[in-house]
Amino acid sequence: MLSTSNDVLDRFRHGDPDAFEALFRLHRRAVYGWILRIVRNPSSAEDLTVETFWRIHRAHACFDPARGFEGWARRIATHAALDWLRTQRPATEASSEPLDALPAPQTADPAISAEIRRCTALAFTRLPPKLRIAAVLAVVEEQPGREVAEALGISVAAVKLRVFRALRLLRKDLERQGIKP
Amino acid sequence: MNKPEQHRYPNEKQDRIASLLRQALPPVENPEAGPDRDLWPQVLGRLDEKPSVPWFDWAMLAGLTGMLLFFPASVPVLLYYL
């Protein structure tokens, strides 16, 4: 957990540019990493990190130092990533570039063919963005439910429900393609 | 012994699809290593950008101007409600 002095947080809330830069330097890696986990594309994650800090600066007057900066920044980053996902068209067989941006699994299950993994990844891009975020953070990245809930602005139970719905839609999509998970 | 597909419990099916998803989309390695370049100049550039007026604001302004030009009698009504 990154700690920030109350003085810096208070100065940031009052619009001090030096405090904002200090917070950027301290939290940029965590914000970038959180966004990368969601969008899974380093170049887009960089753009969204800039967008997130712009939104953070714009909302400085609404910041409550008592609630901490990290969770607040994570929530803004999640919403920026969600907006980005909404603008993206689902990947197709011909255009699966975003899926190729990150390395393949090092410990692939030999019982699951590369083709099934590819179909699953493509089907995942067809899920509604809100369900995708919940599933990728909770299932793939195995982030704590409380952190995911806080980032999405919903309860832990609602996160579990979104994950359940995401997995059910994914299974139905794969079954339509003739794949029995 | 393998159970027939229709007799699998929902949780078991969920676990299988979750496992398949983890195989298809492996976790990002070392995500908090940070971006390759310093993003502070881009953040400063973004802060210096002038906010653009949304297209629907322009559309509303054009509609209002058109209404005032074609229906001048509506001016007192508009002023009354302002």
Pick among A37, A39, A55, A139 to test the B interface (most B CBs inside 10 A):
A139
Gap between the Cα atoms of A2 and A13, Å rounded: 18
**How confident is residue A4, by pLDDT bands cut at 50, 70 and 90?**
low
B41 touches chain A (CB under 8 A): no
| Those residues with Cβ within 8 angstroms of residue B53's Cβ, 6 or more apart along the chain or in another chain | none
Q: Please identify among residues 11-40 of chain B the ones whose CB lies closer than 8 Å to any CB of chain A.
A: 13-14, 16-29, 31-37, 39-40
What per-residue confidence (pLDDT) applies to B4? Answer: 44
Dihedral angle at the C-alpha atoms of A8, A9, A15, A21, nearest 10 degrees? 60
- Write the pLDDT tens digit of every residue in A116-149: 888 899 999 999 999 999 999 999 999 999 999 9
**How confident is residue A21, by pLDDT bands cut at 50, 70 and 90?**
very high
- Select the CATH number that applies to the domain covering A110-176 from these four: 3.90.550.10, 3.40.50.11060, 1.10.3720.10, 1.10.10.10: 1.10.10.10
Gap between the Cα atoms of A56 and A168, Å rounded: 35
Q: Over 80: is that where the pLDDT of A3 sits?
A: no
Q: For every one of its 82 residues, what pLDDT tens digit does chain B have, with 9 covering 90 and above? A: 444 444 455 677 888 899 999 988 888 888 888 888 899 999 999 998 877 778 889 999 999 999 989 998 888 888 888 7
What per-residue confidence (pLDDT) applies to B2? Answer: 44
Q: Please identify among residues 72-111 of chain A the ones whose CB lies closer than 8 Å to any CB of chain B.
A: 99, 102-106, 108-109
**How confident is residue A93, by pLDDT bands cut at 50, 70 and 90?**
low
Domain holding B64, by residue range, is 56-82
Pick among B19, B20, B22, B40 to test the A interface (most A CBs inside 10 A):
B20
Residue B34, in any domain of the structure: no
Closest CA of chain A from B8, distance in Å = 12
Residue B68, in any domain of the structure: yes
What per-residue confidence (pLDDT) applies to A107? Answer: 57
What per-residue confidence (pLDDT) applies to A82? Answer: 96
CATH 1.10.10.10, chain A: domain bounds: 110-176
What per-residue confidence (pLDDT) applies to B60? Answer: 93
What per-residue confidence (pLDDT) applies to A180? Answer: 77
Angle at B10 between CA B8 and CA B13, to 5 degrees: 70
CATH fold of A6-87: Rna Polymerase Sigma Factor; Chain: A (1.10.1740)
Closest CA of chain B from A140, distance in Å = 5
